[in-house]
A and B are shown apart, each in its own frame.
Chain A
Amino acid sequence: MTFINYASREINCKIVYYGPGLCGKTTNLQYIFDSTAPQSKGKLISLATETDRTLFFDFMPLELGTVRGFKTRFHLYTVPGQVFYDASRKLILKGVDGVVFVADSQEERMDANIESLYNLEENLQSQGYDLMKIPYVLQLNKRDLTNIIPVEDLAAELQRKGEPVVEAVASTGAGVFDTLKAVAKQVLTELRKS
């Protein structure tokens, strides 16, 4: 939920990166963290297992700059992708302003993408949101690998409402900021409407 503080002239929005296990959600955040100036970011908090799998969430606050005298800050979260962490995923979606679905482009992960996307729709619904109405971007990650599905086929299967589709290689940063920009733009445009 967007929080606008007229006293400190700050706007805070929440963006959640969703997707199947090992699709690159944390890598997206890590890249944003690594390539952002220190004064624009807070700490990257990762609640992960000993083998670096996300256990609860990753979090980083990112300050983008000033709009009409208000500091614009985005709180970026990832969810744990593994199927059995569903209760955690639901909790993290509370108060969300925009969602990025990170799809794994590899052929063998297609079923996992579809399952995770259904899970996103269900969990949004359980929190009172509708995927069709919320700011949303589809990122097709791992485009540098060899065993990938063509963009058109992935989009045909995973695109839900004409949302922006961004090709990415999160490990090198390709498409990472384009994705963030696409979702942030929708969130701010929604705020303009309301």
Chain B
Amino acid sequence: MADTPILLREKQYHQIKAVLARLRLDSAAKVVFLVDKDGQEIASLGEVGNLDTTSLASLAAGNVAATGGMAQLIGEKEFPTLSHEGERESIHISVIGRLLLVVVFDDRSSLGLVKLRSKQISQQLATLFNEIANADNGDLESPFAGITDEDIDSLFN
């Protein structure tokens, strides 16, 4: 049995985007994105350009999973934030429940500012995502409800 799918409605998606937009502005970040702990990108915003956000999302989740494993080995529940500082570009990751908030920034910003602003919106994102995870989606028509074997086969043709 696989987990229940996460369903993200258009309105919720835009709410998340609005929160990320504010964070990006307040922290002077290049790119801000939200990722599920399993490595699925939920939303991204900013100077994405040629940045491969799908791979970055997967690697961010792998990174958090690996450091989380280390945390447990030394008796910690998890490490709630991770930072990687490069010569020009840096990444800050905050763990918010089952979400990862990833901020990519350069010398227009600073680690302290990114940390502060990320922390300030964490609760808001957690509340939003809680609503998404616990939403009653009975009214939402599943794209798979009427899917036929032929539809599935056609994906491989």
B58, A75: Cβ atoms closer than 8 Å? yes
B7 in contact with A6 (CB, 8 Å): yes
Report, as a range, how many residues of chain B touch the other chain.
Answer: 35 or more
Within the complex, which residue of B8, B145, B147 is in contact with A6, where a contact is CB–CB below 8 Å? B8
* A129/B42 in contact, CB under 8 A: no
Tell me if A181 counts as interface (CB < 8 A to partner B): yes
* Number of interchain pairs (Cβ within 8 Å): 140
Chain A residues, CB < 8 A from B36: 1, 3, 95
**Chain B min CB distance to A38 (Å):** 13
**A145 within 8 Å of B (CB atoms):** no
Interface membership of chain B positions 124-155, coded 1 if the CB is closer than 8 angstroms to chain A and 0 otherwise: 00000000000000001011111101011111
Q: Does A47 contact B (CB under 8 A)?
A: yes
The answer, yes or no, to whether B55 is at the interface (CB within 8 Å) is yes
Q: Kindly provide the distance from the CB of A96 to the nearest chain B CB, expressed in whole angstroms.
A: 7
A47 to B58, CA, bound (A): 12
Q: Chain A residue with minimal CB distance to B69? A: A87
- Closest residue of B by beta carbon distance from A133: B1
Please determine whether B155 and A64 come into contact, CB atoms closer than 8 angstroms: yes
Residues of chain A within 8 A of B22, CB atoms compared: none
Q: Main SS of the interface on chain A?
A: mixed
The answer to whether A67 and B151 have CB atoms under 8 Å apart is yes
Kindly state whether residue B77 has any CB partner on chain A within 8 Å: no
Determine the distance from Cα of A190 to Cα of B145 in the docked complex, in whole angstroms.
11
Q: Does A8 contact B (CB under 8 A)?
A: yes
Residues on B with C-beta less than 8 A from A3 are 5-6, 8, 36, 40, 42
Chain A 167-190, CB-CB to B under 8 Å as 1, else 0, gives 000000000010001001101111
- Do A91 and B40 touch (CB < 8 A)? no
CB contacts (< 8 Å) of B146 on chain A: these are 68
Q: Does B38 lie at the interface of the complex (its beta carbon under 8 Å from any beta carbon of A)?
A: yes
10 nearest CB pairs, A to B: A95-B38, A7-B13, A2-B5, A91-B65, A1-B3, A7-B10, A133-B1, A64-B155, A3-B40, A70-B143
**22 chain-A/chain-B pairs, Cβ below 8 angstroms:** A1-B2, A1-B38, A2-B6, A3-B5, A4-B6, A5-B13, A11-B143, A14-B38, A42-B52, A43-B52, A56-B66, A67-B151, A67-B152, A91-B66, A91-B68, A94-B38, A95-B36, A95-B38, A135-B2, A190-B2, A191-B5, A191-B144
